């Protein structure tokens, strides 16, 4: 499955990224096609790279302004020229950009709405994972419960569908924060725990996390823009087939 273009003009592209595709090229992605390579190979997309130093992040990242985890689907923002890239990156740094994610997590959250403020960092003993670390970088996630479900299995486990707004953009932030409050995301191989993730994967082959909306200012016109991406069919079908919505 390939990404689709939600919007594009002379300065930026808004993509809908499917689950299962890595965003940026790296030594570990030599045998898979990334979003970055898809952008470089797409003849419908023209980047303005004249007089741009090849060492600029804009060139190295093929205009990709931020990132999504491989198994996370949804909205990804790409700049088509260096000035737009820098302006959009600055909006992320200044926390001007507003992002919304949808996630299904284990358990029922009490309170239903709240915030998680826990500093995060890469774990020294496992460089692939992040966690709560004293002295780590500030990380804030706002959550709101939008539905409670019961899993159709022998345990009749409670699940919660959440709308999440990360105020910071740390790697794996939402996934780690949900684990920290003992409500890991459904089918999360890294953070749900080995036994739980194994059982989840029998029902859902991907992480239940979707970047559903982004709001930012156009880098040239300064117009406030908002783009949405509906929940992928696989996640919708999972809710319909394997869960019951509680009243």
DSSP 185: B
61 shares its domain with 6? yes
Residue 16, beta-bridge partner list: 4, 75
**Are the C-beta atoms of 3 and 40 separated by less than 8 Å?**
no
Domain that holds residue 2: 1-94
130 shares its domain with 203? yes
**Are the C-beta atoms of 106 and 157 separated by less than 8 Å?**
yes
131 shares its domain with 246? yes
- Which residue, of 72, 94, 116, is where some domain finishes? 94
Distance (Å, rounded) from C-alpha 85 to C-alpha 99?
A: 18
Residue 60, beta-bridge partner list: none
- Number of domain units in the chain: 2
What pLDDT is attached to residue 125? 84
**Are the C-beta atoms of 20 and 1 separated by less than 8 Å?**
yes
128 shares its domain with 242? yes
What pLDDT is attached to residue 31? 83
What is the pLDDT tens value at each position of the chain, 247 positions in all? 899 999 999 999 999 999 999 999 887 788 889 999 999 999 889 999 988 998 899 999 999 999 999 999 999 999 999 999 999 999 999 999 999 999 999 999 999 999 999 999 999 888 889 999 888 999 999 999 999 999 998 889 999 999 999 999 999 999 999 999 999 999 999 999 999 999 999 999 999 999 999 999 999 999 999 999 999 999 999 999 999 998 7
Known catalytic membership, residue 69: yes
Does any domain span residue 226? no
Distance (Å, rounded) from C-alpha 240 to C-alpha 233?
A: 10
81 shares its domain with 135? no
21 shares its domain with 132? no
Q: 191: which 2 tokens? A: 């953070």
pTM as predicted = 0.95
Any idea what the Cα angle at residue 100 is, between residues 97 and 104, rounded to 5°? 155
The pairing of strands 209-217 and 98-106 is antiparallel
- Which residue, of 73, 94, 115, is where some domain finishes? 94
Does any domain span residue 124? yes
Does any domain span residue 222? no
Compute CA distances 232 → 15, 58, 71, 103, whole Å. Answer: 14, 29, 12, 12
- Which residue, of 58, 75, 94, is where some domain finishes? 94
CATH at 146: 3.30.2350.10
175 shares its domain with 188? yes
Does residue 153 sit in helix, strand or coil?
A: coil
* Active-site option among 11, 69, 188, 200: 69
């Amino acid at each position: 499955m390939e990404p689709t273009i939600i919007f594009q003009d002379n300065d930026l592209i808004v993509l809908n990224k499917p689950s299962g595709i890595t965003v940026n090229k790296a030594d570990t992605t030599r045998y898979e096609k990334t979003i970055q390579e898809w952008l470089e190979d797409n003849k419908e997309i023209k980047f303005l790279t004249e007089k741009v130093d090849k060492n600029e992040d804009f060139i190295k990242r093929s205009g990709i302004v931020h990132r999504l985890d491989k198994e996370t689907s949804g909205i990804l923002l790409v700049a088509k020229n260096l000035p737009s890239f820098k302006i959009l990156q600055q909006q992320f740094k200044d926390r001007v950009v507003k992002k919304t994610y949808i996630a299904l997590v284990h358990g029922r959250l009490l309170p239903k709405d709240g915030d998680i403020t826990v500093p995060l960092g890469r774990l020294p003993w496992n460089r692939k994972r992040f966690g709560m670390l004293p002295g780590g970088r500030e990380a804030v996630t706002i959550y709101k419960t939008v539905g409670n479900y019961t899993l159709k299995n022998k345990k009749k486990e409670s699940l919660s569908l959440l709308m999440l707004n990360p105020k910071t953009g740390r790697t794996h932030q939402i996934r780690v924060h949900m684990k920290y409050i003992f409500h890991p995301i459904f089918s999360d191989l890294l953070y749900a725990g080995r036994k739980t993730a194994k059982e989840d994967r029998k029902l859902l082959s991907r992480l239940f996390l979707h970047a559903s909306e982004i709001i930012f200012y156009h880098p040239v016109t300064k117009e406030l823009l908002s783009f949405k991406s509906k929940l992928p069919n696989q996640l919708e079908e999972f809710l319909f087939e394997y869960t019951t919505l509680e009243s």
